[in-house]
Structure 1
Amino acid sequence: MAKKQLKEKSIEETLWDSANKLRGSVEPSEYKHVVLSLIFLKYAYDRFVERRNELIADGKEAFVEQAVFYNAKNVFYLNEISRWGYLIENAKQNDIAIKIDAALAQVEKDNPTLKGALPSNYYSGLGLDRTKLASLLDVISKIDTQKDKEHDLIGRVYEYFLGKFAIAEGKGKGEYYTPKTIVNLIAEMIQPYRGKIYDPCCGSGGMFVQSMKFIEAHHGNKKDISVYGQEYTNTTYKLAKMNLAIRGIACNLGEKAADTFHDDQHKDLKADFIMANPPFNQKAWRAENELTNDPRWHGYEVPPTSNANYGWILNIVSKLSANGMAGFLLANGALSGDGTELNIRRQLLKNHLVEAIVILPRNMFYSTDISVTLWILAGNRKARTVEQNGELVNYRNRENEVLFIDLRQWGEPFEKKYIQFSGEQIAQIAENFHNWQREGHEQTYRNVPEYCYSATLEEIEAKGWSLVPSKYIEFKNRDEGIDFDTKMTQLQSEMQELLRKEDESKKELLNLFKELGYGLEE
């Protein structure tokens, strides 16, 4: 019998394996910054060399050390000490970590658009093993971005690492990363073709990246979009700037990393599209006497101190342009909270801002296994005509209706225990939503039991202003449509994985006792 051919590892997997070798001296929460900063330097170098060769070929060799000739083509200028070749030449030197710090500092100095994006005096303070760091540099050298004119390879590596880091850091971590499949769904539903796009808690910038990919997929022009964001955590703020720089996406993330509620970096912004994944059920987000007269709550009650969910909603509402669309995620509890939350929710509905409520499946996030809600808000829900990518689209008056969608039985498994939507599913969900919105599709949209229902404000008022979809969507038989064989296979796979990890932990514990001289037997 012929030997089974081993699957060749992708560059992403190879890089991940190399990064894992840094374990021990560096925590996973740290080595994402180690690896991604180096990937950024390699990307910048490949683009620099490509542009340098163009200048030489055009007879402009005298200008190859002038930054303006690089910046004009959206390429970062690199001083000699910032070039990847220089780092590789010195990779085995004892001071390689210091040289990497110097390279990053010089890149930022030579390119003002990168201000605040790169780590400062970072590598030399980590105490990294020189041999392992040299090995990582060698692996990253194998990434050839010159063959990839659209920079999809480097972007793919970046996305892969952000996802893997989020998984590795586990529950309570990974807030900087929203799974791409969810961002794709939001983009397809709110359709950010042209205008200002804003994310008040932008993490690593994934919402912006997928918005640009949406525009590319629909043959739009990326220059028609302006990007505005804000991020609280300084290291994540830097990740976002690097991520967007790799894609060539110009952005305004504010002057610094800052709390959106207490130090709003975009006070006067009115955005055409808002995409966000705020922290779920954020406690103690303001003191009792803080922000009580904030203009963002104008026309509504002040959001309660016990939970920031409605603070995020009203921040988003305050930034929404007259014809803007917003898609954002919240924990399901925001659908039915009472007291102040009920009063705010009632007013949002009476102001005709709530367009759709979409319940997502469990296990879509790396940081939590709960099911969450996608809210779609719209500044204008009257009958109107909108130009989208060169085409005129007519919208029906939906001011007195809300579309409820339940996707808890949708999705497909990946990474053993997580769920994602396929491209076909995202297209189907978005098409159903747009059929509900638009004129000329009256015969195409229909309420479907266990999937979707268009409820009137009268119906919602009768249900106590609750936005829980199951109060409106008809459920004939909750067991229908569930593939029990698939579910059982998934459960068996998860159980086998748990048993394997338990066995590994037991062996590690026994080995530890043996090393300590106790000599326990299995």
Structure 2
Amino acid sequence: MTSLEEQKFLNDLDKKLWTAADKLRSTLSAAEYKHAVLGLIFVKYVSDSFASRRKDLEKDLRNPEHDYFLDAADFNSPEEYEAEINLELEVRDYYTEKNVFWVPMRARWKVLQDNAKLPAGADLPWSKINAKGEEVPEKMKTVGFLIDDSLEAIEKDNPKLKGILNKTYSRLNLDDSKLGELIDLVATIPFNHGSLGSKDILGHVYEYFLGQFASAEGKKGGQFYTPKSIVSLIVEMLQPYKGRVYDPAMGSGGFFVQSEKFIKEFGGKIDNISVYGQEYNHTTWQLAAMNMAIRGIDFNFGKQPADTMNNDLHPDLRADYIMANPPFNMKEWWQEKLEGDVRWKYGTPPQNNANFAWLQHMIHHLSPQGSMALLLANGSMSSNTNSEGEIRKNILEDDLVECMVALPGQLFTNTQIPACIWFLNKNKEATDKKRARKGEVLFIDAREKGYMKDRVLRDFTLDDIKDIADTFHKWQGSSLSGVEVPALSEVEGYEDIPGFCKSVTLDDIRKNDYVLTPGRYVGTEEQEEDSEPFAEKMTRLTTDLKKQLAEGNRLEAEIKKQLGGLGYEL
């Protein structure tokens, strides 16, 4: 877990880097500039990782106790020995065996940074041939070309990165001096700090910049970014610590990043999960893949971006955990081939709204023991438009719904539509960790939680997240460490709280026509009883009002007097 001192270091670094980077933006929009900055952070990461492995390897080559040891006595001269060391340091297998990306000489950060300062049109250190083996025209010898060529070389030598890196720097409307300054700025991101390594620091900076760009882009930016606090809340409630984790509308991969943090926090290993995702937007798909590569998370996002509804890249996947924040109330999604799709087990979703298509797509991909969380517009909890009410009823009668959370407004950069979270579980029977919850649904009304972080956006505090997640886990009986609990009344620590949470039976939901709005069930917060008799209160309030009116008259007279002395009249 990050110490307070390390967290302060990261926060200070975030602000310094963002302020400096934003000053260099010039005429570029946030949407374009995003790829310029995040692509360079990725190059810095692979170079730092490569340099760190190279340093360790050199120690091993000179260490008599290591299998890689090269004995200087076996060579004719110190120069011959050093030459052999340098040759060994360029053996690709030494890096790939440690899951470190191989970085060819032309793409290493120091080479990039040094040559970014060369005069325009100067010969590149590797002559006039680019990473593709093509001759480089004089007009192409720019800093933008230099970066694109570095990315091309990295992709060429690392098949896992094929198609992931955004090689568009030479087409950006940033002059060489601005790109050179941006390279120098990213170069200031350190290798390590305290217990933080390059992966931790660069991963944190990458995530922070994603959030900042989402804010800068407003509505458009929100399409690739789910607020960190919402992602953290869902991950804390689902606790995806082992198995297959899937996000069919993954954006920049925020749910996977928080899953990694959750696993580390509880002493697990990221190797215990397999990550699957899908994204329609090509550049966002690239952002997500770089996000995973920086953290060393093995991922399967398909070979290309694709529309989840019409081109499911993981048709046979049955995931243990599914988390998603798809576009709300998506209208243009239906194609004729979707009629009778195997995913529509609970009813064909309306053609002008994809909410219940996303819901059923995720249910279809759940394993028999799987659980899921889906962010949807509030209308999904009560709408009877077309087939939505019938689909909701069928899902409830199949006893899949476990918890409904109503969220406060103004949480998202891209929409003001009020939202909720659906939590579903394929198995509500008793397990070694949870009590039996058949025929029960927990409702949480979190609309009063959070704080305004600025004039536009609301956010959750860590205490808000903990309060909501703890309520859910207590209700599940998670704190009982394997003791099977036959009834909710025996769950230690959980209790209904008026205005916030209530456990409800399926019979109660039937009586409410299968409406799932938490406010309908949790009631209102209990108010402190007013012990002051009405007659006494009325007398006190009337007296206070007379005093305030008298003071108002006095102040008005004083103002008139002062203005009269200055020659003014009211």
TM value normalised by structure 1? 0.85
Matched-pair contact (CA < 8 Å) for 1:172–1:368: no
Counterpart check, 1:333 vs 2:379: yes
Residue 135 of structure 2 corresponds to residue 88 of structure 1: no
Work out which of the residue numbers 176, 180, 184 in structure 2 matches 1:134.
180
For residue 185 of structure 1, what is the aligned residue in structure 2? Answer: 233
2:358 maps to what in 1? Answer: 312
Say whether residues 1:450 and 2:489 are aligned partners. Answer: no
Do 1:328 and 1:375's aligned partners in 2 also have CA atoms closer than 8 Å? Answer: yes
295, 300, 304: which one aligns with 1:252: 300
Contact 1:19 1:31 in 2 (8 A): no
Number of equivalent positions: 463
Aligned residue for 1:97? 144
Q: Once the 2 structures are TM-superposed, how far is the Cα of residue 436 of structure 1 from its aligned partner?
A: 0.9
The answer to whether 1:407 aligns with 2:446 is yes
- Quote the residue 2:13 is aligned against: 11
**Which residue in 2 is equivalent to 1:234?**
282
Please report how far the alpha carbon of residue 111 of structure 1 lies from its aligned counterpart in structure 2 after TM superposition: 1.1
Q: Contact 1:195–1:225 at 8 Å: present in 2 too?
A: yes
1:66 CA drift (Å): 2.1
Q: How does 1:257-268 map onto structure 2 within 5 Å? A: 257-268=305-316
2:11 and 2:269 map into 1 onto residues whose CA distance is 35
1:88 to 1:176, Cα distance in 2 relative to 1, 3 A: same
Write the deviation string for residues 35-91 of structure 1: whole angstroms up to 9, x where unpaired: 000011111111111111111111153422122211221211111111111111111
Deviation for aligned residue 1:478 = 9.2
Answering whether residue 255 of structure 2 is matched by residue 207 of structure 1, we say yes
Conserved? CA contact 2:116–2:180, under 8 Å? yes
How far, CA to CA, are the matches of 1:443 and 1:31 in structure 2?
52
Corresponding position of 2:423: 376
Q: How does 1:247-396 map to 2 (within 5 A)?
A: 247-287=295-335, 289-297=336-344, 299-338=345-384, 339-385=386-432, 393=433, 395-396=434-435
Check whether the contact 1:436–1:445 (CA below 8 A) recurs between aligned residues: yes
**2:94 corresponds to which residue?**
69
Mapped contact 1:203–1:236 kept (Cα < 8 A): yes
Q: Which of 42, 50, 53 is 1:51 aligned to?
A: 53
- Equivalent AA in structure 2 for residue 209 of structure 1: V
Cα deviation for residue 412 of structure 1 reads 2.8
Structure 2 unaligned spans of 5+: 1-8, 62-67, 69-84, 121-141, 478-483, 530-570
Amino acid at match of 1:345: R
Which of 1 and 2 has greater Rg? Answer: 2
Code of the aligned partner of 1:369: Q
Unmatched 5+ stretches in structure 1: 1-6, 386-392, 481-522
Task: Measure, in 2, the Cα distance between the counterparts of 1:152 and 1:399.
Answer: 41
In structure 2, how many angstroms separate the alpha carbons of the residues matched to 1:107 and 1:206? 25
Q: d(CA) in 2 for partners of 1:97 and 1:396? A: 59
Which residue in the other structure is 2:468 paired with?
Answer: 429
Q: Distance in 2 between matches of 1:411 and 1:425?
A: 7
Give distance in 1, aligned partners of 2:527 and 2:162. Answer: 54
Q: 2:25 aligns with which of 8, 23, 26?
A: 23
Residues 179-234 of structure 1, C-alpha deviations (whole Å, 9 max, x = no match): 11111111111111110000001111110010010011111121110000001100
Q: Is the 1:46–1:144 contact (alpha carbons within 8 Å) kept by the matching residues of 2?
A: no
Instruction: Supply the distance in 1 between the matched residues of 2:510 and 2:244 (Cα, whole angstroms).
Output: 34
**Cα distance in 1 between the residues matched to 2:19 and 2:491:** 53
Let me know the Cα RMSD of the aligned residues. 2.0
